[in-house]
Structure 1
Amino acid sequence: MAALSPASKRALTNLRAFAPPPTNYFKCPLKRRAAVLILLFADRGGDLRVVLTIRSAGLKNYAGQAALPGGKADTLQESPWQTARREAFEEIGLPLTEDKLPPGYTVEHLAELPTNLAMTELGVRPCVAYLKAPLPSARNPNPDAARDLLPKLDAKEVAAVFTAPFHNFLREKDEDPAQREVEGEWYKGSWHSWHESAWRMHNFSVPVTSSTSFLAKRPDSYTDPRPSSANPASTAQSGASKKPAPTKKSGMQPPLPRSFYRVSGDALAQPRYRVFGMTARILVDAARVAYGEEPEFEHNSHFGDEEMIERLIKIGRLSEEKKEGEILTREVIKQAKDARM
């Protein structure tokens, strides 16, 4: 394992020192609580990388999309950290306790970020952790966190796990010149209206190689649930490249169509994996905290959605049971914004 770079050391120090504001996560009922794990580790150059997954094509929600390991809380007593660790164990096989990790590996809980509001009306708490590899030894002369820990996947939930350069989520282009040769652009972004709010849709395309991406072993009985007419080569950006992305300061765009969120063709057949939406926003915010820098591209300046979650709870939204057809309409958001705090 290479020594951490000075920038990586500062990033971990900043994350350890981060004090999040009071959270409304615990005001959400159990069925509205979720957490994700931002798992960082050092590559051979000492730079930090983050672990992501490609969701299984057979899942009901967000099939084929890139995501951070995570999911819903099991009990009211389960902390966001416990939820994130449990889900990471279930999805990518990250052991829950240190004694189950390969010798010399440790997982440090660094920080928790403000809670985000998912489109499905969940409060999502990002938990940041550092996976520290051991020093070289006779038993493991070349420790590699990705190789040693990541290829243990649950194919029912996760089709692949891959890693991305953490600091690059503050940049408009690939920082590694070699990655710029991979077909596709690292970043595209645009402003869209989300119920009277300006929402910056970040759209990253992460280059993948055999050393940064690991596929789940599909059972013999596996059949792809998508229509056979889907052409894996029909889009290099899973539908995002059908029309040019707006440039910086291009003005507000209409709400994104549902087709934007669907993955066309085989997500795993692309030279780059697409990371967008709330997952991308969480990664941008985590990198802002870690490196003490603002991104090169435009972005929502506030961290998380604590105020909006509190306002929605105040007007009776985010209840234990979600009613049929219940969505966050323009009227609901306006009512929440007008509510006295």
Structure 2
Amino acid sequence: MSSPRRSSLLKFHRPQIHLDDAPIPTLKPDSRQCLQNLLQYRTPHSHVAYPKSRCAAVLVALFVGRMGDLYVLLSRRAPTLRTYAGDTSLPGGKWEPQDRNMEWTARREAFEEIGLPIDRRKVPLLCIVEPFLAGNALIVFPVVVLVVDHTIRPILNAPEVASLFSHPLASLLTSEPPFPLEHEMLELEYHTYVDVSIPWPYNDPMGSGTAFVRMHRFLTGREAGGTKPIFGLTASILIRVAAIGYGRGPDFSLCAPGQPSMEERIVHALRNDSVLREAARREGIDPDGEPDAGKRAAVIERQRRKRMKNKL
């Protein structure tokens, strides 16, 4: 039996963007470097095959503010939704059979949710970031784009999206709030985190141990009006995008002690989560066929973190 074909969901068109000619406000030097770093970023090669039916994509839509800073568009989910009602999130959703790749999934979902045009001339692609594992057994690909047409006006899909707002991208790397806190929020910290335990047998010779994953939380400055903080998967994705763009890690501790890498967690979920495992089998993927993928990913990630630490 021949091995299954690797997913082609990451194939995408990368346009040429000339920042000096783009119809955007004057960029601050760190904003320009951030965009250049994102344009040059290439998703690390993965040996893992992902079941398409359990893949999703979110659109990290950046734009340049009047003072030359970069902001990311965020939405407040409708309060009537069955899952994650009222949460602060990125536009996105599950891959569908008509989608050519994950970029298309993210663009389609953003068009359906907030009316962001699919036109690559108005919203060119910067990069696609390595996938994240969501709590609902989805493998989520962040697709990073730049909104260069400032005449675009949002069209919200009311059953899904209650409101749209922006947040400074660089502030996802700092513990200091980018805005003055309202009086009733003065006692709240802008950035906090909680370490959540997950089943992780590799920490225990008996195979019954746990590991901890750090979940970050950032205030939006709109909590008094009912907007929830940036939390969990959305926060992790934005921290990663900001770190790639600005070329530095956050000023807070990113991971819990001994936290497994994201690729290790995805490989483990493919083997042990019943939903992911069944989806892989239906698509001709052997969930047990990548015995060393997680270990290789962990070594690469440790080497990357070491290089990053030496640069700082």
TM-score (structure 1 length as normaliser): 0.66
Confirm whether residue 154 of structure 1 aligns to residue 157 of structure 2: yes
Confirm whether residue 192 of structure 1 aligns to residue 209 of structure 2: no
User: What one-letter code is carried by the residue in structure 2 that aligns with 1:313?
Assistant: L
User: What one-letter code is carried by the residue in structure 2 that aligns with 1:169?
Assistant: L
Confirm whether residue 120 of structure 1 aligns to residue 140 of structure 2: no
- Residue 99 of structure 2 contacts residue 105 of structure 2 at CA under 8 Å; is this kept in 1? no
Q: Superposed, which structure 2 residues align to 1:70-89 within 5 Å?
A: 70-75=92-97, 78-89=100-111
Partner of 1:41: 63
After superposition, the Cα gap between the structure-2 partners of 1:286 and 1:303, relative to the gap in structure 1 and judged at 3 Å, is: farther
Shift of 1:193: 1.7
Partner of 1:290: 245
Q: Superposed, which structure 2 residues align to 1:1-341 within 5 Å?
A: 2-23=25-46, 27-75=49-97, 78-98=100-120, 106-133=122-149, 145=150, 148-176=151-179, 179-181=180-182, 183=185, 184-195=188-199, 196-208=210-222, 269-270=225-226, 273-300=228-255, 305-314=262-271, 317=274, 318-320=276-278, 341=293
Shift of 1:305: 2.1
User: What one-letter code is carried by the residue in structure 2 that aligns with 1:275?
Assistant: I
User: What one-letter code is carried by the residue in structure 1 that aligns with 2:191?
Assistant: Y
User: What one-letter code is carried by the residue in structure 2 that aligns with 1:111?
Assistant: C
- Residue 24 of structure 1 contacts residue 115 of structure 1 at CA under 8 Å; is this kept in 2? no
Separation in structure 2 between the aligned mates of residue 14 and residue 124 of structure 1, nearest angstrom: 22
Shift of 1:299: 1.0
- Residue 285 of structure 1 contacts residue 303 of structure 1 at CA under 8 Å; is this kept in 2? no
Separation in structure 2 between the aligned mates of residue 150 and residue 300 of structure 1, nearest angstrom: 37
- Residue 116 of structure 2 contacts residue 154 of structure 2 at CA under 8 Å; is this kept in 1? no
After superposition, the Cα gap between the structure-2 partners of 1:22 and 1:77, relative to the gap in structure 1 and judged at 3 Å, is: farther
- Residue 14 of structure 1 contacts residue 291 of structure 1 at CA under 8 Å; is this kept in 2? yes
Separation in structure 2 between the aligned mates of residue 150 and residue 59 of structure 1, nearest angstrom: 24
- Residue 77 of structure 2 contacts residue 163 of structure 2 at CA under 8 Å; is this kept in 1? yes
Separation in structure 2 between the aligned mates of residue 339 and residue 117 of structure 1, nearest angstrom: 18
Once the two structures are overlaid, the 10-residue window that deviates more, 41-50 or 194-203, is 194-203
Give the root-mean-square deviation of aligned CA atoms: 2.8
- Residue 11 of structure 1 contacts residue 291 of structure 1 at CA under 8 Å; is this kept in 2? yes
User: What one-letter code is carried by the residue in structure 1 that aligns with 2:229?
Assistant: R
Shift of 1:279: 0.5
What SS does the aligned partner of 1:319 have?
Answer: helix
User: What one-letter code is carried by the residue in structure 2 that aligns with 1:120?
Assistant: N
- Residue 20 of structure 1 contacts residue 114 of structure 1 at CA under 8 Å; is this kept in 2? yes
After superposition, the Cα gap between the structure-2 partners of 1:23 and 1:71, relative to the gap in structure 1 and judged at 3 Å, is: farther
Separation in structure 2 between the aligned mates of residue 73 and residue 294 of structure 1, nearest angstrom: 30
After superposition, the Cα gap between the structure-2 partners of 1:282 and 1:11, relative to the gap in structure 1 and judged at 3 Å, is: same
TM-score (structure 2 length as normaliser): 0.71
- Residue by residue over 1:226-246, the C-alpha shift from the partner in whole angstroms, topping out at 9 and shown as x without a partner, is xxxxxxxxxx6xxxxxxxxxx
User: What one-letter code is carried by the residue in structure 2 that aligns with 1:54?
Assistant: R
Shift of 1:313: 2.7
Separation in structure 2 between the aligned mates of residue 303 and residue 167 of structure 1, nearest angstrom: 25
Separation in structure 1 between the aligned mates of residue 104 and residue 278 of structure 2, nearest angstrom: 21
Q: Which runs of 4+ in 1 moved over 4 A?
A: 301-304, 314-317, 338-341
Separation in structure 1 between the aligned mates of residue 176 and residue 164 of structure 2, nearest angstrom: 22
- Residue 271 of structure 2 contacts residue 277 of structure 2 at CA under 8 Å; is this kept in 1? no
Partner of 2:11: none
Q: Which has the higher helix share?
A: 2
What SS does the aligned partner of 2:84 have?
Answer: coil
5+ residue gaps in structure 1? 99-104, 134-144, 209-235, 237-267, 323-335
